[in-house]
Amino acid sequence: MNQPRLTVLAGPTAVGKGTVSTYIRDNYPEVWLSVSATTRAPRPGEVDGVHYYFVSAEEFDDLVATGQMLEWAVVHGRNRYGTLRRTVDAAMAEGKSVLLEIDLQGARQVKKSMPEANFVFLAPPSWEEMVRRLVGRGTETPQEQQQRLETAKLELAAEPEFDHTVVNDNIQRAADELVSLMGLVAHTH
């Protein structure tokens, strides 16, 4: 059986998708990690073209209107994020192992257009741990935290829509398991 070349990693808010994908970017150059376009402003240390393509609202509108987004979504009711179809198609055509780290709404869109892709759900070790991580981040107001927990509950219920679940109990272990699910050889540490 052919290993699907496109893997989608999604999961609830604050489950550590970003940390796992950063680990993969730093340790698995054989994985082609898609760089999304976003309307949010860069955070300190973020590099245009590496972490995201930082675009204006008008540029984003244009990318959507001209059909250049494989999927896109408004995340946390604020900024827009999307996957550029052209870069993903090119990487797949070159035979690369492609990874998209996107939100659940985006994963559902990809499932519609590419049902043969490999869908991996990143799950928290437990609900309590997830609450701890969300609150521990300390960057949101209590009201925002409450809103995010409500969203997280709904997002956790999406697990059965996925082909595989990886539990993020440890970043390195979770990243290695994801890489194995992509049909690549995980490093031994």
Specify whether the CB–CB gap between 83 and 102 falls below 8 A.
yes
Q: Which amino acid is at 16?
A: G
If one asks whether residue 118 binds ligand 5GP (CB under 6 A), the answer comes out as: no
Q: Which amino acid is at 102?
A: I
Binding-site member from 4, 5, 7, 17 for ligand 5GP (CB under 6 A): 17
Residue 157 phi/psi, 5-degree rounding, is -70, -10
Kindly give, in sequence order, each residue whose CB lies less than 8 Å from that of residue 133, ignoring residues fewer than 6 positions away: 14, 15, 16, 124
If one asks whether residue 103 binds ligand 5GP (CB under 6 A), the answer comes out as: yes
Pick the stretch among 24-32, 57-65, 72-80, 91-99 that binds ligand 5GP (CB under 6 A): 72-80
Shortest Cβ 106–ligand 5GP spacing (Å): 2
Shortest Cβ 125–ligand 5GP spacing (Å): 18
Structure-token pair, residue 129: 């741990």
DSSP state of 34: P
Binding-site member from 6, 7, 36, 148 for ligand 5GP (CB under 6 A): 36
Q: What does the binding site for ligand 5GP look like in residue numbers (CB under 6 A)?
A: 17-18, 36, 40, 71-73, 75, 81-83, 101-103, 105-106
